[in-house]
Amino acid sequence: MEELVKKAEEMGIDVEDLIITAMSRKDPQEGIKLRLTLARKYMAEAEEYLKRGDSAQASEKAYKVAEEVVKALSEKFNLPEYQRAVREGRWYAYTLGSASASLSKTLGEWVVNGWSSAYFLHVWGFHESKLSVTDIIPYLEGVKKLLENAEKVIGS
């Protein structure tokens, strides 16, 4: 089983996401809760990396928080972006961006602000490794606010 997961990940397949999506088909509420649980785990990891001075990994974990939160909210509100991701079998960064914009119209600017902060961290903090620990703190706060507000909306 480990070999299968490793092979899938090497091919760019997000095994965790596939499993949660499959579980959501049986019980959408469970899928949404799992995504929030995962987001909380990633936030704890981001904060731990921050304490260790690893801005690149802290940035990437913060991005994963926002990714899971936007997916959970999109599923909760059954957005067209969510339906598209289910049809296509995966999410894309542009689909998550579109979903965050849609969600912001009804939930508030905190969604798109949190997503934008996370995407900035993903590109400049992780991929480009251009941000220091001090640089990422305000963006990490935006992601934290995204998670906190989503928990209130979802009721977890």
The Cα–Cα gap between 35 and 51 comes to 24
Q: What CATH number has the domain bearing residue 113? A: 1.20.120.330
Structure confidence at residue 25 (pLDDT): 77
Whether this prediction's pTM lies above 0.75 is answered by yes
Q: What is the pLDDT along the chain (156 residues), one digit of tens a residue?
A: 788 777 877 877 777 877 777 777 777 788 899 999 999 999 999 999 999 999 999 999 999 999 999 999 999 999 999 999 989 888 999 999 999 999 999 999 999 999 999 999 999 999 999 999 999 999 999 999 999 999 999 985
The Cα–Cα gap between 123 and 51 comes to 21
Number of domains observed in the structure of the chain: 1
Structure confidence at residue 156 (pLDDT): 59
The Cα–Cα gap between 80 and 87 comes to 10
Structure confidence at residue 4 (pLDDT): 79
Domain that holds residue 99: 2-154
The Cα–Cα gap between 54 and 56 comes to 6
Helix axes 93-107, 80-88, angle to 10 degrees: 160
Measuring CA to CA, which residue among 134, 1, 5, 14 is closest to residue 85?
A: 14
